[in-house]
Structure 1
Amino acid sequence: MSFEKSLDILLVHCQGESGNVLVGGAPEIPGATILDKMNHLNQVDPSLRLFLTREPRAQVVHTTNLLLAPTRPDADAGFIVLQPDRAHPMSGSNCICVVTALLETGRVKMVEPETVVRLDTAAGLILARARCENGRCLSVSLDNVPAFVQQLDAPVSTPQWGTIRADIAFGGVFYAQIDVDQVGLRIVPEAARALAEAGTEIKALLAEQVAVQHPEIPSLDEIAYVMFRDYRPDGSVVTCTTLKPGRVDRSPCGTGSSANLAVLHARGLARTGDRRLSRSIIGGTFTAEILGETTVGDRPAILPRITGQGYVFGRQQLRLDPQDPFAQGFALSDTWGPQVGEL
């Protein structure tokens, strides 16, 4: 059996959310910037993403991060988030997975007790500070791109729940953040299927009713995720981000937690220096902190920091076989859910 052409992958998770890292064997992706390369994967040639993120090589709860050489001189590495629906510009949990993989494999030299890693993403430069000890990455703090609110309490007309209210905010991608009691659910493991279906239904309705566009990156012009939230009396928030074609994030969601901080700031409920605990549907935690204030275009924005931990748990080698009839992958609704036809 020949493995002359293969892809080398590190198996990584962050608080239970898959965030594998493709470290070798990928083809050259055209584009002068990481944003250009992401747009190429989405608009011209999705074959690498399909190969990596769909059956028979992957299941619905799966992400592979494409590790790239940086396209800017102030970065150590670049990456693009590859998911079943499309390539995405940024993800907090996946960024933590990438930093952990870079450091624990020596691709970026680990310096104890703290290593600074600069990542080139389609959403901008991400500064990561990793706490390191005995060759392990114990936690990663991400100085994320500026987060801002586009609209508070945006009305969304739904057949099932009537008119609900969503806060539309950017934390690396655009989110619609919705109080979970509006759809009559709780953020608990046994509700995961119902939450996923509600989120994918609302996401489709949002595409018809709410337009978004980043003031400085015009091609970032869609609401990527619906995030249900449940604020707790102690100031923490339980989150459930829903992803096409119909699943929920296992992690507390770093970009969603950043967008949530922007919402709290816009409502006068958080200010510079404040920290909030974000907890996932399975109990994983991130700490979200407001470092300062800025602007994005003409919009007030905050500078968020997200702290969490990732774990490298294995390696994988995928053979590139030109005779494979399913090189583009496939997805079936028995496991991928009713939205599978929209992939």
Structure 2
Amino acid sequence: MTNAPVIQLMDTHAGGDVSRIVTGGIAPLPGATVRAQMEYLRDQADGLRRLLLEEPYGIPEMSVDLLVPATDPQAAAGYIIMEVMGYPIYSGSNTLCTATAVLESGIVAKQEGHQTFLLESPAGLVQIEAEVRDNVVESVTCEGLPSYIDTYRARVHVPGLGDVDYSIAYSGGFYALVEAAELGFALNLTEERRLADTAHAIVEAIRAERSFSHYSLGDVGPLPFLHFMGPVEQVAPGQYRSRSATYVHPGVICRSTTGTGTSARLALMHYEGRIQPGDQLETVSLRQTRFIGRFTRAEPQGDYSVVKNTITGRSYVIARSDIVVNCEDPMVECGALLSILGES
């Protein structure tokens, strides 16, 4: 085992969703952009994602973010997001966690008070704003991807459930948005397993019936997300709150409400005329963790009104560790991993 490859990790969480930040042990990836490097991992070297999200090293409810050198000179670092469903080009909670890791690891030096920097995601450059107090990263605000409503109040027949009404938003991935109360849910933690089973059935039914295409990106894959929406309450002028739960196909209910889920909600509220620029929505998870989405402005893109937004939350470092990759272990599949491992 003395020559076994080692991968360095910083485990973090935002709103309860654990993001495993890979800080070392991976060789430079081919590709002129972070997006191209993501596509290389997806198509040629999926072993890292599988290693860290499957037994014995991890579980599907986690995410992985691989730090890579930025290809845009404006950015402090690049990162590639990996989840059970594959390789999303953007994720709010993963961006909050990656930004915190970049600060805690010293890639970007902490500055007391307010500081800004750029990260390079597969979706492009992301503006980061961090609040540091007594050398502690107390909050991070990141840009949400431009979000819009693709489909409003469609209906699908779901075996075992009957007819289900849904809307489709794009916010970094396509989201089915459903009213939790219409399906008998109050969005309590005791409902988690039933929420996952219900979302699985709805997503499968929608995927069997239709597909979705982004107005500029084209085909971004089959529907991967569903967001259960609780009632929206106004808590102050321009400030709203809603219980929420995000599902990732197949089978995972996120611990947080997710950044992209919150962005999708903002897009729907704008579509329905319920919010104005400057308004914010606080989404509350099954575990009472919270993200704040702020609607900054809307602009026309073809047939759509696209919502620009930001997501604010807090990430915590929970572990720093070395993963020893033992290819003699029958539970470890090294075939799709060896080509990207660095020197131990």
TM-score normalised according to structure 2 size: 0.90
Partner residue, 1:242: 247
Partner residue, 1:285: 290
| Residues 10 and 316, structure 1, Cα contact 8 Å, conserved in 2 | yes
Partner residue, 1:336: none
Q: What secondary structure sits across from 2:268 in the alignment?
A: helix
Q: Distance in 2 between matches of 1:122 and 1:175?
A: 19
Q: Distance in 2 between matches of 1:127 and 1:177?
A: 27
| Residues 216 and 297, structure 1, Cα contact 8 Å, conserved in 2 | no
- Give the residue type in structure 1 aligned to 2:150: Q
The 5 Å alignment of 1:147-166 reads 147-166=147-166
Partner residue, 1:45: 45
Q: What secondary structure sits across from 1:74 in the alignment?
A: coil
The reply on whether 1:230 has 2:230 as its aligned counterpart is yes
Partner residue, 2:199: 199
Q: Distance in 2 between matches of 1:105 and 1:233?
A: 39
Q: Tell me which moved more, 96-105 or 40-49.
A: 40-49
Q: What secondary structure sits across from 1:262 in the alignment?
A: helix
Q: Give the 3 Å change call, closer, same or farther, for CA 204–113 of structure 1 in structure 2.
A: same
Q: What secondary structure sits across from 2:39 in the alignment?
A: helix
Partner residue, 2:96: 96
Q: Distance in 2 between matches of 1:188 and 1:271?
A: 29
The 5 Å alignment of 1:7-86 reads 7-86=7-86
| Residues 192 and 247, structure 1, Cα contact 8 Å, conserved in 2 | no
Q: Distance in 2 between matches of 1:131 and 1:176?
A: 33
How far did 1:2 drift? 1.6
How far did 1:57 drift? 0.4
Q: Distance in 1 between matches of 2:41 and 2:132?
A: 34
How far did 1:5 drift? 2.1
The 5 Å alignment of 1:216-227 reads 216-227=216-227
Q: Distance in 2 between matches of 1:141 and 1:216?
A: 26
| Residues 10 and 315, structure 1, Cα contact 8 Å, conserved in 2 | yes
- Structure 1 segments, 4+ long, off by >6 Å, are none
| Residues 8 and 24, structure 1, Cα contact 8 Å, conserved in 2 | yes
Q: Distance in 2 between matches of 1:91 and 1:44?
A: 22
How far did 1:285 drift? 0.8
Partner residue, 2:237: none
- Give the residue type in structure 1 aligned to 2:297: G
Partner residue, 1:133: 133
Partner residue, 2:265: 260
| Residues 175 and 226, structure 1, Cα contact 8 Å, conserved in 2 | yes
| Residues 193 and 247, structure 1, Cα contact 8 Å, conserved in 2 | no
Q: 1:320 aligns with which of 313, 322, 325?
A: 325
Partner residue, 1:302: 307
The 5 Å alignment of 1:320-339 reads 320-328=325-333
Which segments of 5 or more consecutive residues in structure 2 lack a partner in the other structure? 235-239, 335-344
| Residues 252 and 286, structure 1, Cα contact 8 Å, conserved in 2 | yes
| Residues 143 and 311, structure 2, Cα contact 8 Å, conserved in 1 | yes
Q: What secondary structure sits across from 1:138 in the alignment?
A: strand
How far did 1:306 drift? 0.7
Q: Give the 3 Å change call, closer, same or farther, for CA 29–183 of structure 1 in structure 2.
A: farther
Q: Distance in 2 between matches of 1:326 and 1:241?
A: 30
Q: What secondary structure sits across from 1:57 in the alignment?
A: coil
| Residues 237 and 278, structure 1, Cα contact 8 Å, conserved in 2 | yes
Paired residues, number: 329
Which segments of 5 or more consecutive residues in structure 1 lack a partner in the other structure? 330-343
CA RMSD in angstroms, aligned pairs only: 1.7
How far did 1:124 drift? 2.7
| Residues 159 and 201, structure 2, Cα contact 8 Å, conserved in 1 | no
Q: Tell me which moved more, 221-230 or 28-37.
A: 28-37
How far did 1:139 drift? 0.2
Partner residue, 1:335: none
Deviations 1:117-144 (A, max 9, x none): 2121122322110101222110001122
| Residues 15 and 251, structure 1, Cα contact 8 Å, conserved in 2 | yes
How far did 1:226 drift? 0.7
Q: Distance in 1 between matches of 2:189 and 2:64?
A: 24
Q: Tell me which moved more, 182-191 or 282-291.
A: 182-191
